[in-house]
């Protein structure tokens, strides 16, 4: 019985890994205080992100984050980038979020979220971040972790449908789409 569970988990991990390799997560951070715009790209198997100055197309920084980084979102003021890290390791499927200070490109905090954290989105006022935990490694329901961005703590966990892939918040902040 354990061998079957392991094989199923291994197959699903390879699927996510393949998707991560083939899809780059690129988000542009518009210039803050006159700075050049930057692209933050997750490097799924390298456990880091590359910061690219889009005016020169050069990598300006590489930031070590958690295991298998997948999604990136910026706070509305551009001061923080939240990077989802899919799993802790090959035996612990709990994901994390690395909070990056965009002025220094250093990890300022790491937040434990749910199983297989994939995508993240901010509320319009920047006080909350919503993280999709697809939970594909277990038969239980997937969740959204709601993070207070001031304290960098998960304040609520909402159970949602099976295997969500993305999240978006309406401009007025009243609707969250998973």
Strand pairing class (128-133; 117-122): antiparallel
Superfamily name with CATH number, domain 17-168: YVTN repeat-like/Quinoprotein amine dehydrogenase (2.130.10.10)
The arithmetic mean of pLDDT across residues 65-71, rounded, is 94
Half-sphere exposure of 2 (CA within 13 A, CB side): 0
Find residue 26's DSSP bridge partners.
Answer: 41
Using alpha carbons, select from 76, 58, 158 the residue that is nearest to residue 123. Answer: 76
Phi then psi for residue 42, to 5 deg, are -80, 135
pLDDT at 171: 84
For the stretch 112-115, contacts whose Cβ atoms lie closer than 8 Å and that sit 24 or more positions apart, written own/partner, are 112/154, 113/84, 113/145, 113/147, 113/154, 114/142, 114/143, 114/145, 114/157, 115/87, 115/143
pLDDT digits (tens, 9 = 90+) for 105-148: 999 999 999 888 999 999 999 999 999 998 765 656 788 999 99
pTM: 0.77
The mean pLDDT of 14-41, rounded to a whole number, is: 51
Mean pLDDT of the chain: 80
pLDDT confidence of residue 125: 95
CB 114 within 8 A of CB 161: no
Work out the number of other CB atoms within 10 angstroms of the CB of residue 31: 13
pLDDT at 4: 47
Note the pLDDT tens digit of each residue in 117-129.
999 999 999 999 9
Q: Is the pLDDT of residue 70 over 70?
A: yes
| Predicted local distance difference test score (pLDDT) of residue 175 | 62
Contacts of 6 (CB under 8 A, 6+ apart): none
Across 20-24, average pLDDT: 39
- Position 1 scores a pLDDT of 46
């Amino acid at each position: 019985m354990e061998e079957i569970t392991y094989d199923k988990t291994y197959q699903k991990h390879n699927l996510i890994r393949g998707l991560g390799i083939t899809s780059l997560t690129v988000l542009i951070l518009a210039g803050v205080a006159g700075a050049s715009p930057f692209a933050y790209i997750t490097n799924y198997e390298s456990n880091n992100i590359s910061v690219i100055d889009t005016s020169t197309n050069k990598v300006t920084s590489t930031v070590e984050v958690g295991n298998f980084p997948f999604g990136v979102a910026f706070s509305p003021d551009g001061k923080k980038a939240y990077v989802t890290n899919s799993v802790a390791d090959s035996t612990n499927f709990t994901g994390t979020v690395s909070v990056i200070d965009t002025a220094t490109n250093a990890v300022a905090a790491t937040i434990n979220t749910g199983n297989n954290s994939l995508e993240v989105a901010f509320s319009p006022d920047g006080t909350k971040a919503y993280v999709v935990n697809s939970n594909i490694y277990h038969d239980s329901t997937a969740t959204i972790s709601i993070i207070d961005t001031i304290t960098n703590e998960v304040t609520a966990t909402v159970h949602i449908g099976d295997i969500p892939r993305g999240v978006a918040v309406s401009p007025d902040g009243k609707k969250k789409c998973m």
